[in-house]
Chain A
Amino acid sequence: DTGVSQDPRHKITKRGQNVTFRCDPISEHNRLYWYRQTLGQGPEFLTYFQNEAQLEKSRLLSDRFSAERPKGSFSTLEIQRTEQGDSAMYLCASSLGGTLSVNQPQHFGDGTRLSIL
């Protein structure tokens, strides 16, 4: 079990540029989540997938944000036309779940720290 893997660990970019992050969940986990964490705050839920289907999106996920999980394995989170306020830690988590299964806890990756210059 290699855990949840996120890439890159750090990303520095200029305002207005596009960035893309990748998350590889624990291999048998069918659910994948994205969160954003700003300094001094708890993580805030952005979106989640069950397999390849994006089942829920937070109001925090503006139209500049898009997430995909095309084959139900890894996921990407893209931010277009980055703004200063996008600077944060972006956390990915995965879990095992289904319609009749007990909710399993979410396992988190190390996160990608985004800094907007």
Chain B
Amino acid sequence: AQTVTQSQPEMSVQEAETVTLSCTYDTSESDYYLFWYKQPPSRQMILVIRQEAYKQQNATENRFSVNFQKAAKSFSLKISDSQLGDAAMYFCAYRPTLPYSGGGADGLTFGKGTHLIIQP
């Protein structure tokens, strides 16, 4: 079974600074997807960024970027120029790639989350 581990229950960063959230995972699959989701206090989960395991290039979305180390099974999220609106729970998630014949395990496996605090 796949597992996702987020070892930082809480992180704090000054506004405008850079912060990195850690995530490691365990899988025997060679092809899969990794995601970072943000869950603000309003509770709706919002996709921040995703990475396909077969791609060596790290994904970036504006101020958000990842450091994907497949051999180490590590997938960290870097937030640059932190803003007050970035304050939220951040969840790392894993999902195997579906076989083209259809079916298979399609549910996301989430870590326990990291609570990000932005200090003004």
Contact = CB atoms under 8 A, between A and B. Distances in A.
B45 A91 contact: yes
B107 A105 contact: no
Interface of B: 4, 33, 35, 37, 42-47, 50, 91, 93, 95, 97-98, 100-113
Contacts of A109: 44
Nearest to B42: A110
A105 B111 CA distance: 17
A107 B108 CA distance: 12
B57 to A, nearest CB: 16
Contact of B43 (A31, A48, A89, A103): A89
Interface residues of A, number: 30
Given A110-B43, A110-B44, A111-B43, A45 B98 contact: no
A42 B113 contact: yes
B64 to A, nearest CB: 14
Nearest to B37: A108
A42 B91 contact: yes
Contacts of B50: 105
B97 A103 contact: yes
